[in-house]
A = this chain, B = another copy of it.
Amino acid sequence: MRYSQYLLPTLKETPAEAEVISHQLMLRAGMIRKVAAGIYSYLPFGLRSLRKMEQIIREEMNRAGAIECLMPMANPAELWQESGRWEKYGKELLRFKDRKSADFCMGPTHEEVITDIIRNTVNSYKQLPLNLYQIQTKFRDEIRPRFGLMRGREFIMKDAYSFDLEDSGADTSYQKMYQAYRNIFNRCGLKYRSVEADSGAIGGNFSHEFMVLAESGEDGIVSCDSCEYAANVEKAELIYADSVPPVATQEVQKVDTPGQKTIEDVARFLQVNPQQIVKTLIVQTSNDEVLAVLLRGDRELNPIKLANLLGVDWVLMAEEEVVQEATGAPTGFAGPIGLSIRVVADAEVKTMADFVIGGNAVDVHVVGANHGRDFEVSQFADIRQAVAGDPCPRCKEGKFESWRGIEVGHIFKLGIRYSEAMNATVLDAQGQAQPLVMGCYGIGVGRTVAAAIEQNHDENGIILPMPLAPFQVLVTLLNPKDDQVREAAEKLYQQLLDLNIEVLLDDRDERPGIKFKDADLIGIPLRVTVGARSLKEGNVELKVRESGAVTMVSVDEIVVQLQQLVAQGLAFTLEK
């Protein structure tokens, strides 16, 4: 492709609308343009990266035995009413009426449509297992679309759905997808972790997220420094060494703590360590229960663990008036003594004695408190957020390291939730109708490209790994008006095209400085500069975008060298 005939509108300034670096760089590098909030056009340069991601996904899904299909974006309400989601799904489900006032939604995911297809085409267990996938445009009417392709409303997703007769088959389908996903993200050349994720009300350990590591990631991840265990902090399990039960040595006693509200304030004021404080959170559940939750002062509640423990959909911090009613004091002074609501504590609290708690009155705390003696805890359980340094629950030898990550894939064992609701059954070997056991598997295509940029950039621009880069080689023609230079660049361009190397020739009538700045911004992995001075010595300049390494290479050797570098950059590395 010749830059002069291409549409690659780079921007010098960072657009004000873009908060995160990938969004800024995708706009500046002419990859995307905003059409409306959370809705983008993919310009040619950006589309090339997306297509590469799609092709890697397609090849690995096919290799894993999944079959590609394509479902519509307009979904009739009837199917969503059958699954029960027409009512349950919030406003992210964009509902609309057609000209005949029939109800439709824009598909944010396609469990309903695929389950309808399968129940109408598959009758016997002999036709199983099946795994169908599509790469398709979805719409989710996010209340706060942001970060460019990271959280858009209209976006391209690969979604796959597996169907098995039995649970064990579904587990095998799941494992195949797990491996396919590892292959996909390995092939992208990204640093990522596959982590155990919360599977919510569905149960089982059958949910993994694939997280591209980046400091700007929205998700916290922990991984063991000794074994393979890795998990979203929302999910990461914790173990507690069996310690000698602590013995109370202090009397319980109220103390005045005027103006001390935070854990840090109280610790400083009472000259104790935050680890000697137990904080009491008043929470409300989706079942309308109000309860008190105890955690060591320096710990954070993991609301998902707590919700799972309680068997509810969600827990939230209680509103001010609820706290007042439950504790007799405003937020910030709650303590477990004398409460009439259920008290649940993090397992770690069980090992604590003689601690500080809130006094259920303004500016009052209690010291020397002990559970079992001063108040009762109905249940101790793992309900806190994991942090770096926590011991690994799997190997019990390593310790957690912590990372930030961007979720780009999620695989999930669904079980029979949709097949039961929609009566999708097959006959088993005994002629009995059995509900299909399903799994679902998603990858955000545009989000992966954006995450790749979050992970791979510098102050000058994008540094996409070779497998996702829009072009593999940039040939910068420095002096378009110098016949000899032009001919050398054109010849190199043609040689690379003939080898099926994806090459962009910057043949624009622009100053070298502009060409170099654009080159760094758009981040094509290999740049060859053809200029009059070096050409006189029979050389061109090769710059590797990632390392910044610059070498002079003879005109006779540059093609072979580029060919090798491209092949290296595309090599499927098994682990990163």
Contact = CB atoms under 8 A, between A and B. Distances in A.
Interface string A121-137: 11000110010100001
A92 B113 CA distance: 24
A7 B67 contact: yes
A155 to B, nearest CB: 9
A429 to B, nearest CB: 14
Contacts of A39: 72, 74, 76
A117 interface: yes
B104 A36 contact: yes
Contacts of A154: 72-74
A227 interface: no
Interface in A68-89: 68-76, 79
Contacts of A36: 72, 74-76, 102, 104
A143 B99 contact: yes
Interface in A378-396: none
A47 interface: yes
Given A74-B39, A76-B35, A141 B98 contact: yes
Contacts of A69: 7, 41-44, 47
A9 interface: yes
Count class of interface residues, chain A: 35 or more
A99 B40 contact: no
A96 interface: yes
Contact of A35 (B65, B71, B94, B127): B71
A125 to B, nearest CB: 13
A516 interface: no
A43 B117 contact: yes
Contact of A117 (B41, B79, B132): B41
A296 interface: no
A127 B509 CA distance: 11
A120 interface: yes
Contact of A47 (B43, B44, B68, B121): B68
A504 to B, nearest CB: 12
Contacts of A117: 33, 41, 43
Nearest to A152: B72
Contacts of A130: 7
A39 B141 CA distance: 22
Nearest to A118: B7
A100 to B, nearest CB: 8
A139 interface: yes
Interface string A1-32: 00001110100000000000000000000100
A106 B72 CA distance: 13
A44 B73 contact: no
Contacts of A139: 73-74
A29 B538 CA distance: 61
B120 A33 contact: yes
A481 interface: no
A545 interface: no
B99 A65 contact: no
B99 A41 contact: no
A153 interface: yes
A510 to B, nearest CB: 11
A91 interface: yes
Contact of A73 (B42, B73, B75): B73
Contact of A91 (B44, B65, B99): B99
A274 to B, nearest CB: 42
A539 B516 CA distance: 64
A79 B120 CA distance: 41
B6 A67 contact: yes
A65 B96 contact: no
Contacts of A67: 6-7, 44
Interface string A331-354: 000000000000000000000000
A323 to B, nearest CB: 31
Contact of A98 (B94, B120, B122): B94
Interface string A277-310: 0000000000000000000000000000000000
A5 B50 CA distance: 29
Nearest to A508: B126
Contact of A153 (B40, B74, B141): B74
A153 B75 CA distance: 12
Contacts of A104: 36
Contacts of A92: 99
Across the A-B interface, give the 5 residue pairs with the lowest CB-CB distance, nearest first. Answer: A9-B121, A96-B96, A36-B76, A42-B70, A91-B99
Interface of A: 5-7, 9, 30, 33, 35-36, 39-44, 47, 50, 65, 67-76, 79, 91-92, 94, 96-99, 102, 104, 106, 113, 116-117, 120-122, 126-127, 130, 132, 137, 139, 141, 143, 153-154, 509
18 contacts: A7-B132, A30-B121, A33-B117, A35-B72, A35-B75, A35-B116, A36-B74, A39-B74, A42-B69, A43-B117, A43-B121, A44-B69, A47-B70, A50-B70, A72-B137, A74-B106, A98-B141, A98-B153
Given A33-B121, A72-B154, 13 more contacts: A6-B67, A7-B69, A35-B79, A35-B113, A36-B74, A36-B76, A36-B102, A40-B72, A41-B117, A42-B70, A73-B73, A74-B154, A99-B143
